[in-house]
Each structure stands twice: as C-alpha cells, then as structure tokens.
Amino acid sequence: MKRKLSNQFLVNFLVIFLLTILATVLAFGLLSFASGLISDSLAKNRYPASAIIKEDYKQIDPSAVVQNGGGVQVVDKEYRVVFSSGLDTIGKDKLTAEEFTKFLTESKSKPYHYDILYQPEGEFWVIVTFPTSLRLDFSLMYNKEASAGDFIRVGYVLGFTILTYLLLIGLFAFIYSRITAAAITVPLRKLRDGTRLLREGDYSARVDLRLKNEFAELQNTFNDMASRIEHEISLRKKSEEDRRRLILDISHDLKNPMASIQGYGELLLKKSGLTENERNEYLEIILNNSKRANGLLTELFELSQLDSPDFSLKTERTDICEYIRQICGFLVPQLEREGFQYEFDIPEESIYVLLDPNRFGRIIQNLADNAVRYNPPGTLVTVSLEKLDHQVVIDFSDHGIGIPAHLADHIFNPFVRADPSRNSKTGGSGLGLSIAKKIAQAHGGDLNLFPGGHKGSTFRIIVPAI
C-alpha cells in the first residue's frame, strides 16, 4: 500500500514538474509579449535621444523629457557636461575618460534607463535619462559570426544551467512527494496494523495518530469501533460464563430432588413389609421433592417468558397505594406465622400507575419470601411508598442479617444464593430476585438493592407514575 501510494504521488508530482517547466516558458513568452504591447507607451521609448538630438546641442529642446520625469545631459569630447536639464545622475560638470567609460559600462546596472547617442558633427554625446519602472535582464541572442569556441562554451554553460534547474525541481518534487505520501501512508499503516490486531483477536488495540485532520475522525471511529467490539466480546464471554453456570446450577438443583424421588420410589417397589407410616413418610418425601422440582421448573419457565421478545404485560391504570395495601394485607398472615414484626407506611392519597396486577404483586411476594427464609424470627419488615417527581418509589426493608458484600453486585443474577452449597433446606432456587427485577423492568421501572448504613437490607422498587 505504501509503495503504491508513494509511486502515485511521485507520478503526480512529476506531472506537476513538467507543467511547471511549461508554465515557466509560457511566463517568459507572455512577459515578452506584454512588454512589446506597452513598449511604445513608455516614456523612454517615446522620447529617445534620436528624437531630440540636433547638430548644435544649444538647439536641443528637453522640455518633453523633463515633463515626463526624465533628464537630458550633453557631454562634449572633453568629457565636460556642457548642458544639463531635468534628472541628472552624473552629478559632475567634468568627467575623466575613465569615469565616462565606467558610466557607459555600468549604466545597465543602475535603476535608470539611459539612451546615449553620439553626434559626430558637433562631437558630443546626448544622454537621455528616465527612472526605470521595471527591468528584467534576460535575453537569448544568436549571432552566427561569433567564434565557434564561444558557441561551445556558452552551450555547455546553458546546458549545465538548464540541467541543474531541472534536477533541482525534480529533486524537490521527489522529496515533497515522499513527504506528502508519508503524511497519508503512515496513518493508514497504523490503522492497518490496528485492524490486523483486531482481526487476530486483540480487542484492546487502539490507534493514536496524534493528528487533527480527517484522519483524527477516522482514528476516533476506529477506536470507538474497537471499544464496542471489546465490550461486546466481554459481554459475550460473560453471557457464556453465566450460561454455563446456569446449566450447572439447574443441574445441581434438579439432581437432588430427582435423585431423591428415584431413590425412594425404588425403595417402595423393592422393599416389602413396609408399615403404613413408613410408606406415607416415603411418599411425602417423594411429593415434597417433586413439588420442589416442579417449582424450580415453573420459575425457569417464568424467567424464560420474561426474557422472550414476545413477552408483554397486561397493564391497567391502577391506584398503586391501594394495590400495595392489599398486597401487604396478604403478607400479614405469613409474617405473623413466622414470628416477624412489620410496619407499613402507605399514603392515603391516590397515585396512579400502569401495571399488570397479576405480575407486579410477585415482586413484593418474592422479597417477602426471601426476608422470611433468610432472617430469624423477630425481624422487623417495613414497606413504604412515596412519590418522587414522576416516579413511585417503594422500599421493602428488613432489619435482619443483610446481604453479604460479595453478593451485592450479583444478587439479581439467576441462581445467586447466599448459601454456596445450594442446600435446599437453607434457601430457595435463587431465581426469585431475578424474576422480580425483570418484572419491574417490564413495567418501565427497576428493582435495586438500595445501599444504606442501617442493619439488614433495603430493596427499592421504582415505577413511573402517570
């Protein structure tokens, strides 16, 4: 890629190089043409020495020259300035032969135009002087009468000059093409390397071009894409780990009751002479384990329903205060039977929300089941409700043992339980809180473990008010 782009830039700059040469030639030609167009209108060409010279310098009329900013001087054969009018660049009344010769030879190097004409009858020179507006001293002449050796030497010099000029322009074009190509190929190479790392599985790859042009936008887009891919891969890995853990937890929770059912069923079939009490005891164990397995499968089915894209609630406009009071009324017998204390703080006013009455009550019931299951008798359970802005906030609190710190961030994941051994006698399936949270989210709200400094734990349910 770099080689192709660099070569393409080199070709482009070689074209520019040739066009530059052509433009230079055209510029000189155009300048010569333009000079010819205006030459007749310039004061130096309208009033040359030949137009005013006379046999007697005293008859010379310098007025037109002086009016146009020029000057006229007459130098006799003794190099004396015998007449001067207007602009005077000689500055002396008398010159030596050397000074006059130097004046003549150096006249082209001065910012003035001199037109010098000799009058043989009067034996004097007429010098017409005008300030030079612009001078471009470049001319190419050919005289076949010149020496052959001079032609060769001048040809070498001219050829060397042109070759050097072309080589310098070519070198500059080559260097500049490489620099320009590098400004593009270097960022592209870094982006290519970053893309290759992504392809090879290094999702932490990022590109730092340290530029502020369009490549910076491409860099930001690339880094954002890489970040999103890394995040998606991380979520996918986490999802895969959660799926494996879920399968293991389901297998573990189903294995024990199913093994118990199988074992006691075989015992009933093979063991004869069982008493009625023994038979009833075995049947009761089989029944309890089948209920436990069936309950787990029911909760799994419900959790799967909540995750389904086809799942929808049957919501209706409901007075949430009256609804929560009814739910709390259903909880009272359960709390009293387990020896729990309770307090309810529900406003008397009506606050309306859209909820599915058949499902929303499951949130409170699951929280209550967990509070009763994991806390000792005498624990205080409180339920409070208030409206904050456009949301209804329901806090379900207990003053029990609380949630272990290492489980606080994962408590709503399926099959998360405080008991790592997953003993059926010390806890439920671990799906209750996960189901409750998904029901709250399906209502446009949420369920969170509310951090607090008091003893026990507080779960906060939020639903939008209407």
* CATH code of the domain in which 282 resides: 1.10.287.130
Residues 56 and 147 in one domain: no
Amino acid in the structure at residue 36 = G
Residues 28 and 153 in one domain: yes
Burial 253-275 (b: 16+ CB within 10 A, else e): beeebeebbeebeeeeeeeeeee
Residues 284 and 342 in one domain: no
Q: Residue 194 falls within a domain, yes or no?
A: no
Residues 127 and 144 in one domain: no
Q: Residue 70 falls within a domain, yes or no?
A: yes
pLDDT average, residue stretch 430-448: 90
What contacts 24+ positions apart, CB below 8 Å, involve 31-38? 31/136, 35/136
* Contact yes or no for 337/304 (Cβ under 8 A): no
Bridge partners, 73 (sequence order): 84, 127
Alpha-carbon span 370 to 427, nearest angstrom: 8
Residues 58 and 101 in one domain: yes
pLDDT band at residue 1 using 50, 70 and 90 as cut-offs:
very low
Residues 165 and 257 in one domain: no
Residues 354 and 417 in one domain: yes
Residues 426 and 329 in one domain: yes
Alpha-carbon span 77 to 123, nearest angstrom: 6
Q: Residue 221 falls within a domain, yes or no?
A: yes
Residues 146 and 118 in one domain: no
Residues 338 and 420 in one domain: yes
Residue 41, classed as helix, strand or coil, is helix
* Contact yes or no for 335/448 (Cβ under 8 A): no
pLDDT in tens, 272-311: 878 888 889 989 999 988 988 887 788 778 777 777 777 7
CB neighbour class for 106 (10 Å; exposed up to 12, middle 13-18, buried from 19): exposed
**Whether the predicted pLDDT of 212 surpasses 90:** no
pLDDT band at residue 119 using 50, 70 and 90 as cut-offs:
very high
pLDDT in tens, 179-208: 777 878 888 888 888 888 888 888 888 888
Q: Domain boundary residue among 85, 110, 131?
A: 131
pTM of the predicted model over 0.85: no
Q: Residue 322 falls within a domain, yes or no?
A: yes
Bridge partners, 76 (sequence order): 124
Q: Residue 199 falls within a domain, yes or no?
A: no
pLDDT band at residue 215 using 50, 70 and 90 as cut-offs:
confident
Q: Which pairing describes strands 391-398 and 380-388: parallel, antiparallel, or unpaired?
A: antiparallel
**Whether the predicted pLDDT of 144 surpasses 90:** no
CATH of the domain at 367: 3.30.565.10
* Contact yes or no for 70/130 (Cβ under 8 A): yes
Alpha-carbon span 114 to 132, nearest angstrom: 9
* Dihedral pair phi/psi, residue 84, rounded to 5°: -150, 135
Q: What's the chain's average pLDDT?
A: 85
Residues 325 and 414 in one domain: yes
Residues 332 and 412 in one domain: yes
Q: Residue 206 falls within a domain, yes or no?
A: no
Q: Residue 250 falls within a domain, yes or no?
A: yes
% of the chain exceeding 70 in pLDDT: 92
Instruction: Show the tokens assigned to 63.
Output: 């007025």
Bridge partners, 353 (sequence order): 318, 465
* Contact yes or no for 23/169 (Cβ under 8 A): no
If one counts the domains in the chain, the total is: 4
User: What is the extent of the structural domain holding 459?
Assistant: 313-464
Q: Residue 362 falls within a domain, yes or no?
A: yes
